[in-house]
Amino acid sequence: MGFGRFSGADHDTRQTPSSGQGVVAKRTYDIVLWGATGATGRRAAHHLARRCAESGVALAIGGRNRGKLEHVRDGLAGRAGEIAILVGDSFDTAFMDEMSAQTRVVVSTVGPFAVYGSALVAACVANGTHYCDLTGEPQWMREMIDTHQDQARETGARIVHACGHDSIPSDLGVQLLQAKALDHCGQPCRRITTRVTRMKGGFSGGTAGSFLNAMRLRETDPDFDHLSADPYALCPTGEREGPDGPDRMMPLEVTWDADLQAWAYPYFMGPMNSKVVRRSNAVMGYPYGRDFRYTETALSRGGVGGWLAAMRKTLFGKLFLIAMAIPATRGLLERHVLPKSGEGPSKEVRESGSYEIIQVGTLRDGTVLKQRITGQGDPGVRSTTMMLTEAALCLAEDEIAVGGGFWTPASAMGPLLLARITAHAGLSFEIIAGRGA
């Protein structure tokens, strides 16, 4: 089965040849988890401690508060006593440099990344240290690519943003569906539509913080809305054109999906995940075709009830967005409604949560393939941190085909990460209609 090419066809995708662990083979640690005390960081620490103990990977945890870090370490399974603690601040560039020079991989949960993440990415790039994170902030990702791409190619640092629920299921799902289309039909899907059909869980304080920060940035950055709307905003320079129209944040729009016989409505993270999928296609050298089209929304049911439910959620989303855009109501939501840093869904919600995504691929001849993706655990924290953990282990342990640079989950790790998240992070991918079902 082919998973797409890892070619460096354009100037943004030149690769520094570097196989396996490449230039960062000898370091004190294999992985440093930066931000182990936050809502996602604590969960990531648990998964990483267990998985690293299984495979003999040397792990350190880091953050700004030694007491909190010791408390986290004391609760870890595996060889917790062997896990080192690194204490510093995200704004301390000398510490960021020292920390990233000691490890082969840094995995970060310290967000909003546009606030706390830049010095760490710069340090990882300078030291040839591989890096993955949970950012869903395309403006910041664009800034990091523009600032550090050339140096990352030189040092061999593989930088992979968006390694949580945003955007791994969408990105790897598209890559897998395209591989299946090629296998069974001899051609890639010209269009793929991702529908989030079920999301059961909660979200953490850091997610709220990132959203609040984005709404504030929007007021001061004249390019913010332009980049948000640009469907190809994360594609390489000179490659920012294609058939998709603008990404719209929560339009008041409910549409009928004839393939799935249900009403589709806007999904908050759809525009961000779509940009990542399009970047994957571009940096891999267009294995999905230059005319490939992609959209991502949520899906309700059919009938009048389904339409009403979709309309209610659309209106709620729009009102929430308006309230977040107005400083006075945003302040009220921040103080009284949204979770604070360190807070997140309860253990019961994390463990009983789940999600389902259906991807519909349409080939040139009209053939339709459908793929179901399911995830166990709430998407915002449990599933996200298991995927992030596997991405960090993949960067540390697997023979990755691409060299240094800014990649996406699919373009950097593709089938290697897919195998990991299906075996260890509770995800499943299954063709449910079309050839190969």
Ligand X SMILES: NC(=O)c1ccc[n+]([C@@H]2O[C@H](COP(=O)([O-])OP(=O)(O)OC[C@H]3O[C@@H](n4cnc5c(N)ncnc54)[C@H](OP(=O)(O)O)[C@@H]3O)[C@@H](O)[C@H]2O)c1
Q: Does 41 bind ligand X (CB under 6 A)?
A: yes
Query: Whole-number minimum distance, CB 154 to ligand X, in Å?
Result: 27
Q: Does 345 bind ligand X (CB under 6 A)?
A: no
Task: Decide if 349 contacts 202 (C-beta within 8 A).
Answer: yes
Q: Which is nearer to ligand X, 4 or 164 (CB)?
A: 164
Query: Whole-number minimum distance, CB 204 to ligand X, in Å?
Result: 3
Query: Whole-number minimum distance, CB 43 to ligand X, in Å?
Result: 8
Q: Which is nearer to ligand X, 50 or 340 (CB)?
A: 340
| # chain residues binding ligand X, by CB under 6 A | 35
Which residue in 8, 173, 188, 206 binds ligand X (CB under 6 A)? Answer: 206
Q: Does 317 bind ligand X (CB under 6 A)?
A: no
In DSSP terms, 196 is beta-bridged to 298, 357
Residues in the chain: 437
Query: Whole-number minimum distance, CB 400 to ligand X, in Å?
Result: 21
Buried b (16+ CB within 10 A) or exposed e, 228-243: bebbbbbbbeebeebe
Cα-based torsion angle of the residue sequence 94, 96, 97, 99 in order, rounded to the nearest 10 degrees? 120
Q: Does 216 bind ligand X (CB under 6 A)?
A: no
Q: Does 131 bind ligand X (CB under 6 A)?
A: no
Q: Does 90 bind ligand X (CB under 6 A)?
A: yes
Q: Does 382 bind ligand X (CB under 6 A)?
A: no
Piece in contact with ligand X (CB under 6 A), picked from 38-46, 75-83, 183-191, 244-252: 38-46
Q: Does 166 bind ligand X (CB under 6 A)?
A: yes
Piece in contact with ligand X (CB under 6 A), picked from 86-94, 138-146, 260-268, 346-354: 86-94
* ∠ CA 201-64-157, rounded to 5°: 80
Q: Does 149 bind ligand X (CB under 6 A)?
A: no
Q: Which is nearer to ligand X, 128 or 375 (CB)?
A: 375
Which residue in 11, 19, 91, 237 binds ligand X (CB under 6 A)? Answer: 91
In whole angstroms, give the CA distance from residue 30 to residue 59: 6
Piece in contact with ligand X (CB under 6 A), picked from 37-45, 225-233, 303-311, 365-373: 37-45
Which residue in 24, 32, 33, 39 binds ligand X (CB under 6 A)? Answer: 39
Which residue in 342, 352, 424, 435 binds ligand X (CB under 6 A)? Answer: 342
Q: Does 414 bind ligand X (CB under 6 A)?
A: no
Who contacts 182 (Cβ-Cβ below 8 Å, separation ≥6)? 1, 2, 188
In whole angstroms, give the CA distance from residue 237 to residue 233: 9
> Which residues sit at the interface with ligand X, rule CB under 6 A?
35, 37-41, 63-65, 68, 89-91, 109-113, 116, 134, 136, 164-166, 204-207, 209-210, 341-342, 344, 380, 384
